A and B are shown apart, each in its own frame.
Chain A
Amino acid sequence: MNGPHGASLDPATGWLILTAFSILWVILGAYLGRRSSGLEGYMLAGRKVGMALGTATAMATWVTSNTTMAAPQLAFQMGIWGMLGYSLGAVGLMMFAPLARRIRILMPYGFTSGDFVRMRYGRFTWRVFLLISLLYAFGWLVSMGMAGGVLVNALTGIDYRIGMSVILAVCVLYTMLGGLKAVIGTDFIQTLIILFGIVALAWLAITQVGFDRMHEAALTKRPELLNLLMPAAIMFLFNNLLFGIGEVFHSNVWWSRAFAFREGIGFKAYFTAGLLWMPIPVVAGFVALTVPALNLNVPAADMVGPLVAAKLLGSSGAVLVFIVVFAALASSLDSLLAATSDLILTDIYKGHFRPQASDDELARAAHWMILGLGLFAWLLCLPRLTTLAQLLYFMGAFVASTIWPIAAGLFWRRANPRGAALAMIAGTACGLASYFLIGFYVAALVSAVVSMSIVLLSTWLRPDDFDWASLAVSGEVRS
């Protein structure tokens, strides 16, 4: 049965898949997290995550709705460079590898990225950073919650708000039950499902449409998709590179894993995850190039992936897409819920309101933080405000401004607090101005350049003399 916008699954099948996988993730999350004890066990999986789970969780978290839904959307809008630009997101993971090693060495007892910024740069810079980091985290949460609703609606015709609510509720539940162990354990299985599904869909698309037909139709109807010199798309490529680096460098999603990985694993896990992730946006995105050959009417660009798959592969293809994107959404939503609630718990709740809170109190509060964050995201997702990519690229201005303050703060003892704060504020302001005055594809680029200039200049003019040993004090990290 075809639902709204050509949905190829009937709502009953949609509900069946949604229910089956929801039960699977919740049971698995509760089972994996059953032995997590104390705050470190719940928030950081005991700090002993190995190479396999470490690599898979980095990959799965980075394969979000961005990859499975926005990669086809960007390929549909920007052609070849759209999907190649998305692939450069892998550089962020690979460049974070040496940072992850450094973080684990400098802060063996650290909990969040906020811990580092507060201890390295002081309270003012910490608050600027928290503002950026939390805004980004909410933006990412909302974009994924919306992606869940869009997916369910596009594939089954189930109402956007109902689909979004179910997906969000499931992720909140199993993250609450099992903490980071539940997140990382489910990520491994979700990664395998995503990889299998993406390859299967790509293979079927290649065999059913073929490169010759795809190329010929695109050349006739949408030649810009095959153009290697599309200026906006080339700008997008560099912009996406910086956006990806900014996202990874500052976000507690990646920092919490650097703290959680077993000693000596961080570098290898992040670098390998980047290498393995790199081809995925091309595989997931190229199906959008079949739109001209299929004479498909795409009512909204962010639905192009599911619509093409449904058109090409019928009901079984739609089932596969549904499962893959549900896994991709869950793997990122759970990570973001866990890491953002950690940031709120340690940097806002304890850092600002309850400095004397014990580990037991924090461990109890952590559950409520995840629930509260889930409810907040749900409220923001209810109105479908903007397309996924627009929302994400609005955040590019914010996150790219953190690249240099974070990297310089980790490696240069002369980087100073005022320069770091000014770099984030001015970088974000200029990035936002360029977003509105020029376009979404330059926001991160401008933000990163301005931020870099300020960090370099301030380090040169007012060099600090930071003592690295001060970061390793366990009692100081969370107070």
Chain B
Amino acid sequence: MIISVTALAWLVSAATLATMAAPVVLIIFWIRDLLKGQLW
């Protein structure tokens, strides 16, 4: 059972988009912690 080119494209593209979102999430957390004085 071979994965289709469409499924492969969807899998990799979705993973890439999710990875792109990760730094944004981390920076939002960082700003929130900084404002609350809870970084450390």
Chain A 282-300, CB-CB to B under 8 Å as 1, else 0, gives 1100100100000000000
Would you call A389 an interface residue if the criterion is a C-beta within 8 Å of the partner chain's C-beta atoms? no
Q: Which of B1-40 contact A (CB under 8 A)?
A: 1-5, 8-9, 11-16, 18-23, 25-27, 29-30, 32-34, 36, 38-40
Contacts of B8 in A (CB 8 A): 80, 211, 214-215, 226, 289
Check if A59 sits within 8 Å of B38, measured CB to CB.
no
CB distance from B4 to the nearest CB of A (A): 8
Tell me how many residues of A have a C-beta within 8 Å of chain B. 44
Check if A50 sits within 8 Å of B38, measured CB to CB.
yes
Bound complex: CA of A289 vs CA of B2, how far in Å? Answer: 14
Contacts of B40 in A (CB 8 A): 45-46, 48-50, 53, 181
Check if B33 sits within 8 Å of A50, measured CB to CB.
yes
Task: Please tell me which one of the listed residues A196, A226, A278, A283 contacts residue B23 in the complex, with CB atoms under 8 A apart.
Answer: A196
Would you call A223 an interface residue if the criterion is a C-beta within 8 Å of the partner chain's C-beta atoms? yes
Contacts of B14 in A (CB 8 A): 279
Contacts of A211 in B (CB 8 A): 5, 8-9, 12
Bound complex: CA of A216 vs CA of B5, how far in Å? Answer: 8
Q: Which of A198-224 contact B (CB under 8 A)?
A: 198-199, 202-203, 206, 211-212, 214-216, 219, 223
Check if A52 sits within 8 Å of B1, measured CB to CB.
no
Contacts of B26 in A (CB 8 A): 52, 55-56, 59, 188, 191-192, 276
Bound complex: CA of A18 vs CA of B20, how far in Å? Answer: 26
Contacts of A195 in B (CB 8 A): 19-20, 22-23
A228/B9 contact (C-beta < 8 A), A53-B40, A55-B26, A283-B15 known:
no
Check if A276 sits within 8 Å of B9, measured CB to CB.
no
Check if A52 sits within 8 Å of B39, measured CB to CB.
yes
Interface of B is mostly: helix
Bound complex: CA of A46 vs CA of B18, how far in Å? Answer: 33
Contacts of B39 in A (CB 8 A): 50, 52-53
CB distance from A284 to the nearest CB of B (A): 9
CB distance from B37 to the nearest CB of A (A): 9
Check if B15 sits within 8 Å of A279, measured CB to CB.
yes
Chain A 169-190, CB-CB to B under 8 Å as 1, else 0, gives 0000000000001000000100
Bound complex: CA of A276 vs CA of B29, how far in Å? Answer: 13
Task: Please tell me which one of the listed residues A59, A203, A278 contacts residue B16 in the complex, with CB atoms under 8 A apart.
Answer: A203
CB distance from A475 to the nearest CB of B (A): 26
Check if B1 sits within 8 Å of A229, measured CB to CB.
yes
Would you call A340 an interface residue if the criterion is a C-beta within 8 Å of the partner chain's C-beta atoms? no
CB distance from A462 to the nearest CB of B (A): 45
CB distance from A287 to the nearest CB of B (A): 10
Chain A 38-51, CB-CB to B under 8 Å as 1, else 0, gives 00000001101111
Contacts of A228 in B (CB 8 A): 1-3
Check if B12 sits within 8 Å of A282, measured CB to CB.
yes
CB distance from B38 to the nearest CB of A (A): 4
Contacts of A65 in B (CB 8 A): none
Contacts of B5 in A (CB 8 A): 211-212, 215-216
Task: Please tell me which one of the listed residues A55, A215, A226, A279 contacts residue B18 in the complex, with CB atoms under 8 A apart.
Answer: A279
Bound complex: CA of A164 vs CA of B11, how far in Å? Answer: 34
Would you call A455 an interface residue if the criterion is a C-beta within 8 Å of the partner chain's C-beta atoms? no
Bound complex: CA of A278 vs CA of B32, how far in Å? Answer: 24
Q: Nearest 8 A-B pairs (CB), nearest first? A: A52-B29, A279-B15, A282-B15, A52-B30, A50-B33, A279-B18, A215-B5, A50-B38
Q: A45-B40, A203-B16, A279-B16 are in contact. List 15 more A-B contacts (CB 8 A).
A: A48-B38, A50-B38, A51-B38, A52-B32, A53-B40, A191-B26, A195-B19, A195-B23, A206-B13, A211-B8, A272-B25, A276-B22, A276-B26, A279-B14, A289-B8
